[in-house]
Chain A
Amino acid sequence: MFVLSGYDAFLGFLLISAAVPVLALVANKVLSPKSRQGERELTYESGMEPMGGAWIQFNIRYYMFALVFVVFDVETVFLYPWAVAFHRLGLLAFIEALIFISILVVALAYAWRKGALEWS
């Protein structure tokens, strides 16, 4: 099937690990009591009558962190092949990666300076 060995096990384990929550939910569905409707289906809001929904706007700050995260996530993906192949590459690769990382440190410094990493 796969030329890469071991991924048939991946497929099998994916099926098994997907079966766990599904079976658990089905068991719960069968075994649990069905109660009357009403109050208990209200959204919880510290015992008060819920005021409005929760599908509202939230803070922009989370968005800034996600932006910075995308950039650094891509950076780490580039660094994986570097780390794995480093023993074959030697000094030159070290300098090249140093340049790569320092450019991204500039990005981090910029984000820091501009307050993208500030919460308040």
Chain B
Amino acid sequence: MIRAAIAVASALLVAFIVLPLAGLVLHLEPRAFAAALATPSARNALRLSVVTTALSLGLTVAFGTPLAYALARGRFPGRRVVDAVVDLPIVVPPAVAGLALLLVFGRNGTLGPALHALGITLSFSTAAVVMAQVFVASPFYVRAARGGFTTVDRTLEAASETLGMGPLRTFAYVTVPLAAPALLGGLVLSWARALGEFGATIMFAGNLTGISQTLPLAVYLDLESGDVAGATALAVTLVALSLAIVIAVRALARD
């Protein structure tokens, strides 16, 4: 009885997730697909999405890994507050995140005059796209990595250090491999969130082909202009890209 209930509930949710995605693919006309992807704006959007999410992922790993490690292992005042604050972007609506970025880093924002003095204008730039992605997506990685570091058996690290490995080598050869499933899971989630980022991007970076028009923005604009075929083609590309990465990371994690 309980097993049947579990099976039905699971099947319903899987069907609910798969059906709309399958609908996208079924809606696709092969010739329109090729034509839609050949347009300069589609290729620009694809290129921009790949480049910006790669950059935001790199920044997230570079800054998020030490932070996650500190949150998992560190004993410092305000750790719980930092822990909570890092999670905030997950619950803040993306458009609000974009407005917040604009009010701080925009031309008339809090840091606007200082940035202007340095000759830096962030709003309406590709840098703003990356910033929006890091803001909304990095918490997913930090969260997962923090969990991963917490579950690593400290005696193994201690053994490594007893055997003469320094802290850095212990971290690289013991801690990271043991936390790898969590780190990779966090990376995928974070990257996927960055790839789908829409609200904060349109608010902070605007929408210009080649500069700030990422795939989700291009999909939305195609829909607004009634180009359902074009929107579907881009949407399927977006889903395929996500699926490829998820499968690749799963395969990596199994090795």
Asked whether A and B interact, the reply is: no
